[in-house]
Structure 1
Amino acid sequence: MSMSTCLWFLLVSSFTGANEVNVNCLRSIKSQVKDPKRSLSSWVFRNGNATYICSFVGVECWDEDRVLTIYLSGYGLQGEFPLGLNDCSSLTGLDLSRNNFSGALPSNIASLIPFVTTLDLSYNQFSGEIPTGLLNVTFLNTLMLQHNQFTGQLPPQLASLQRLKQFSVADNHLIGPVPKFNEAYFGSESFANNTDLCGLPMEFCINPEEKVSRFGQMGAAIGAAIFAPVGAFLGWFFFNGN
């Protein structure tokens, strides 16, 4: 076999492999989610040239057959975070917002979507802690996690996502300090309606012992304010009565 023939064979094989991987990615996603509205009915898989996957609803491609973005917002999809995404190795955008996804995000999420720049999981029912693995999705510039059921503390490592420009974890059940983002500034609306988030741009954090001390001081002050007039009246009454 000549050198040129070998190179041609390797090139065709690599493209064929890439085609199959992207097809398998979408096939896995479809098999892993529940689709009561049949929103993914156009995802019909067949043999032959894989460029047909680029006509699927919610799918955008580059180079004719490599999945670049998956936007499935508001399709009524159910289930857990689809693990088949790891086969979409060229994926840069993922929007699963306004569905009924639930369960915890995988701890290895960075290995599933390593090159994603936009991740929108808002308005679902995801729960558990926000994984520290998001730190390793280093190209993220948009991370929207609002209106879910996340609990626990925000990973402080999120502050090292230097490209992050849009961010929200509002309307969850998060507690503890807000990470100290160095470059980007996110307003209080990005953290609103959580159980007990604190630190800028929210209220300052107070440790539990200090809270107890402050409540004790407030109680003493309230008690003094209530009983001081009573004591003064009784003193006046006894003094003038005599």
Structure 2
Amino acid sequence: MSLIPLLSTCLWFLLVSSFTGANEADVKCLRTIHFQVKDPNGYLSSWVFRNFSAGYICKFSGVTCWHDDENRVLSINLSGFGLEGEFPLGIKRCSDLTSLDLSRNNFSGVLPSNIASLIPSVTILDLSYNQFSGEIPAGLSNVTLLNSLMLQHNQFTGQLPPKLESLQRLNQFSVADNHLTGPVPKFNEALGLGVESFANNTELCGSPMDYCVNPEEEIIWFGKIGAATGAAVFAPVGLFLGLFLFNGRKEKQGNIRHQR
């Protein structure tokens, strides 16, 4: 056998092996997700892992592949499926995933702190209308390709990670209807975020919300207001008292002169 055909055969074998390996990883990704979430409405009934033909997982409900004839997941959209459980960690095996939509379900619990390593190439992340709680992980700022980050209508608490302002590709963002506190990060003005993106978080402050007031500055401010108010209230009393004492002194001096 000549050297060139041998090299070609080896190269083909390596390409097929790596391609198959990638496909197997995506299959394991969906299999793990299927195991990790509860599906009370049976929307994931099409996720049957018995057929090993090319692209068979591309026919699963909510799954879109890069190509129909290969098991490489492009996006997962499970919005409104009524799913329950925590954020599915198995998503990490879908290494070519660019969009993840878990909105309008009953997911709960905290988001993993290493979320950036689970969805490094995602451009669209929609976790809205669930029951996720805890703090929004600062690691989301490391998902640098994000164009859309929708976290509204959950139970998130704590402050918004300041590093979120480094997501320069964002064109859609919302954390409305949570329990967030503290200042809003200084997002790119070109993003044009309005109050609606942060609404119903009573303790969020900073543009486009109300101005943030430092507690120490607030105490000083109230102190000045109190002093000014006190001065305004008690100045007439002091004037009256001064006049009374002055008149009393004049009358006393007059009596002394009269006695002389």
Shift of 1:210: 2.3
User: What is the alpha-carbon root mean square deviation over aligned residues?
Assistant: 2.3
Separation in 2 of the partners of 1:120 and 1:219? 48
Distance (whole Å) between structure 2 residues aligned to residue 193 and residue 223 of structure 1: 36
The amino acid that maps onto 1:31 is F
Map 1:60-209 onto structure 2 (within 5 A).
60-64=64-68, 65-182=71-188, 183-209=190-216
Unaligned runs of 5+ in 2: 242-260
Q: Under a length normalisation based on structure 2, what TM-score does the superposition of the two structures give?
A: 0.83
The equivalent residue for 1:17 is: 21
Moved more, 133-142 or 46-55: 46-55
Q: Tell me the CA shift for residue 184 of structure 1.
A: 1.7
CA distance in 1 between counterparts of 2:104 and 2:195 reads 22
Seq. identity, %: 73
The equivalent position to 2:44 in structure 1, one of 22, 40, 44, is 40
Can you list the C-alpha shifts for 1:183-239, whole angstroms capped at 9, x where unaligned? 4220010011013111100011001122334445566778899x78xx8xxx9xxxx
Tell whether 2:70 aligns with 1:59: no
Partner secondary structure for residue 126 of structure 1: strand
- Between Structure 1 and Structure 2, how many residues are aligned? 233
Residue number in structure 2 paired with 1:240: none
Structure 1 residue runs without a partner (length 5+): 236-242
Give the residue type in structure 1 aligned to 2:192: Y
Q: SS state of the match for residue 203, structure 1?
A: coil
Q: 1:217 and 1:125 mapped to 2: Cα distance?
A: 44
Q: Helix, strand or coil: the match of 1:143? A: strand
Measure the CA separation in 2 of the matches of 1:175 and 1:222: 32
Change in Cα spacing, 1:223 to 1:99, as seen in structure 2 (3 Å) is farther
Q: Is the 8 A contact 1:123 1:148 kept in 2?
A: yes
Distance 1:205 1:4, change over 3 A: same
Taking structure 1 as the reference length, the TM-score comes to 0.89
Residue identity matched to 1:15 = F
